[in-house]
């Protein structure tokens, strides 16, 4: 069966993008976003199957060149709340806003990544300790050990 999207699907996605592109290009002041007329909102229909925000950044021999600014996870629903979240992330990454220097942004990203990594490690430790606890309990029952003693 062919999984390629039909033209109606592509057109409906473009209609959705057209609904929100004005916010990206002309701003949404209540969110602190001034807008950027170079931005494009597009659905990547390749393997990724995701919404992407691109910026027009021509170079000498490539006048129509675009770079990915932000990519939504696969399955991301493009709706008003999704676009607001996207704009909030653009505001956080905008170095033209006071207090958003490149080093501040990188420090924030490093802190967020460290927190995510710590949470993953804590979850892994929790799962491992729970499994070990069950193993030692069952091994103790099997071997007839009712008490454990750890010399200090």
Q: What is the residue whose two structure tokens read 């129509």?
A: 64
Q: What percent of the chain has pLDDT over 70?
A: 82
Domain edges within the chain: 7-99, 101-152
Predicted structure pTM score? 0.55
Determine if residue 35 is left, alpha or beta; phi over 0 gives left, psi from -120 to 50 gives alpha, anything else beta. left
For residues 110 and 67, what is the distance between their CA atoms, to the nearest angstrom?
23
pLDDT at 1: 45
pLDDT at 119: 92
Kindly give the parts of the chain with pLDDT less than 70.
1-12, 97-102, 105, 146-152
């Amino acid at each position: 069966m062919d999984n390629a999207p039909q033209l109606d699907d592509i057109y409906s996605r473009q209609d959705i993008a057209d609904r929100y592109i004005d916010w990206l290009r002309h701003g949404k002041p209540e969110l602190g976003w001034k807008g950027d007329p170079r931005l494009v909102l597009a659905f990547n229909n390749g393997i990724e199957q995701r919404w992407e925000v691109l910026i027009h950044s021509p170079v000498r021999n490539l006048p129509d060149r675009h770079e990915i600014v932000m990519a939504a996870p696969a399955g991301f629903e493009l709706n008003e709340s999704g676009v607001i979240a996207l704009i909030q992330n653009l505001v956080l990454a905008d170095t033209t806003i006071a207090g958003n220097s490149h080093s501040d942004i990188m420090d924030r990203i490093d802190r967020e990544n460290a927190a995510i990594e710590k949470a993953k490690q804590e979850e892994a430790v929790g799962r491992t300790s729970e499994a070990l606890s069950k193993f030692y309990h069952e091994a103790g029952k099997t071997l007839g050990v009712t008490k454990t003693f750890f010399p200090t």
